[in-house]
Amino acid sequence: MVLLLDLGNSRLKYALFDGSQLRDSGIIADLSLPSITEIIPTEGIRLLAICTVIDIPSDILTSLQANYSVHIIAKEDTNLRFSTYDPSTLGLDRLILAEACLSVFPSQPSLCICLGTCITYNLISTAGEFIGGAISPGLHLRSKAMSEFTDKLPLIDLKPNFTPFGTNTNSNLNAGVISGTLFEINGFIASAKKEFPNLQVILTGGDADYYKDQFEIDPLLAWKGFLRMIPMV
Say whether 93 is catalytic.
Answer: yes
Residues 19 and 126 in one domain: no
The answer to whether the annotation marks 169 as part of a ligand binding site is yes
CB 153 within 8 A of CB 173: yes
Is residue 185 a part of any domain in this protein? yes
Q: Has residue 230 been placed in a domain?
A: no
Pair (53, 25) in one structural domain:
yes
More confident residue, 66 or 11: 66
Tell me whether residue 83 is in a domain: yes
CATH code for the domain in which residue 8 is found: 3.30.420.40
Residues 60-97 have pLDDT tens digits of: 999 999 999 999 999 899 989 999 999 999 999 999 99
Is 92 marked as binding a ligand? yes
What is the rounded distance in angstroms from the CA atom of residue 79 to the CA atom of residue 163? 41
The residue from 27, 46, 72 where one domain ends is 72
End residue of a domain, out of 72, 99, 127: 72
DSSP-based three-state secondary structure for 137: strand
Whether residue 151 is found in the same domain as residue 38: no
Same domain? 170 vs 132: yes
Query: Does the structure show a pLDDT above 60 at 98?
Result: yes
Whether residues 30 and 85 share a domain: the answer is no
Residue pair 191/131 in contact (Cβ under 8 Å)? The answer is: no
How many CA atoms within 13 Å lie on the side-chain side of 211? Answer: 28
Is residue 229 in some structural domain? no
The mean pLDDT of 193-201, rounded to a whole number, is 97
Cβ 106 vs Cβ 60: under 8 Å? no
Same domain, 44 and 130: no
Can you give the pLDDT at residue 207?
95
144 is in an annotated binding site: no
List, for residues 102-113, the tens digit of each pLDDT value. 999 999 999 999
CA distance 108 to 227: 19
pTM: 0.89
How many helices (H) and strands (E) in the chain?
A: 7, 9
pLDDT digits (tens, 9 = 90+) for 15-51: 999 988 999 999 999 999 999 999 998 888 889 999 9
Same domain? 167 vs 56: no
The pLDDT value given to residue 9: 73
Whether 59 and 136 map to the same domain: the answer is no
Are both 161 and 145 inside the same structural domain? yes
Those residues with Cβ within 8 angstroms of residue 197's Cβ, 6 or more apart along the chain or in another chain: none
Q: Which of 56, 72, 88 is the last residue of a domain?
A: 72
What's the structural domain count of the chain?
Answer: 2
Residue 233 lies in a domain: no
DSSP annotation of 214 = T
Is 158 one of the annotated binding-site residues? no
Give the range of the structural domain holding residue 104, as residue numbers without chain letter: 77-221
pLDDT tens digits, residue range 142-189? 999 999 999 999 999 999 988 899 999 999 999 999 999 999 999 999
Q: How confident is the model at residue 232 (pLDDT cuts 50, 70, 90)?
A: low
Q: How many CA within 13 A on the CB side of residue 166?
A: 17
3-state DSSP assignment of residue 16: strand
Residue of 93, 151, 209, 213 marked active site: 93
Angle between helices 221-228 and 92-104 (to 10 degrees): 90
Per the annotation, does 26 bind a ligand?
no
- The 10 Å CB-count burial string (b at 16+, else e) for 220-232 is ebbbbbbbbbbee
Same domain membership, residue 122 and residue 40: no
- What's the confidence (pLDDT) of residue 215? 97
In a domain, 227, yes or no: no
Helix 139-148 / helix 180-195 crossing angle, nearest 10 deg: 130
